[in-house]
Amino acid sequence: MLQPKKKSIIRALFQNEDYSNFKESLPSNLSKTNEKDYAMKRYWKDSGKPKDFNDAQNRDNPMFYEVYHPEENKHLFHGVSTSEKTGKFYKPKKHESTYKELEEYKSNPELKGFRDKTKLVSIGNTWKYKEKSKRELTNPKASERVNKRTERNIEKGIAMSKKNKE
């Protein structure tokens, strides 16, 4: 009876060691990231658990991208804001840069098709893009209601994030 539990504990220990090795290989701005500020472990799992930074970058779709920070006069690596698989944000609602993702979702004309099919929902301390139901897509009243709720969530999310930036 204890056998399956024992295996899962051993698997969890190896997985934690694999993640620790991965995180230690990251550039300093990423390796020092606190899990409550960015769900790096979830991003690592969603990305197929690469061994290290080089493994994460040497793929068709690299995990991290460089962004120039003029205040520091250097490039730093960043991860994506949301899970491609689940739509769940890797940053919490109150993260100082979550508003950038929300403003992009709200105003980028290239995302109109995505906005038409999705809504923004609150999941604990973070946000998630979720596909609208068939009813929400086809029923005008339901569609209007979910669009208004999403708009309120966007505005609320932008305000929360910008407040923490100050």
* pTM for the model: 0.82
Q: Count CB atoms within 10 A of the CB of residue 102.
A: 24
Nearest to 24 by CA among 48, 47, 44, 46: 44
Q: For residue 10, is pLDDT > 70?
A: no
The tokens describing 63, both together, are 């995990």
Where does the pLDDT of residue 5 fall: very low under 50, low under 70, confident under 90, or very high at 90 and above?
low
Q: For residue 9, is pLDDT > 50?
A: yes
Where does the pLDDT of residue 15 fall: very low under 50, low under 70, confident under 90, or very high at 90 and above?
low
Least confident of 6-20, 81-95, 96-110, 121-135: 6-20
**Predicted pLDDT at 1:** 45
**Predicted pLDDT at 96:** 84
Tell me what the mean pLDDT of segment 41-68 comes to. 95
Nearest to 155 by CA among 112, 93, 109, 111: 93
Q: In the beta sheet, which residues pair with residue 131?
A: 118
**41, 90 in Cβ contact below 8 A?**
no
Nearest to 77 by CA among 90, 91, 63: 63
**Predicted pLDDT at 164:** 73
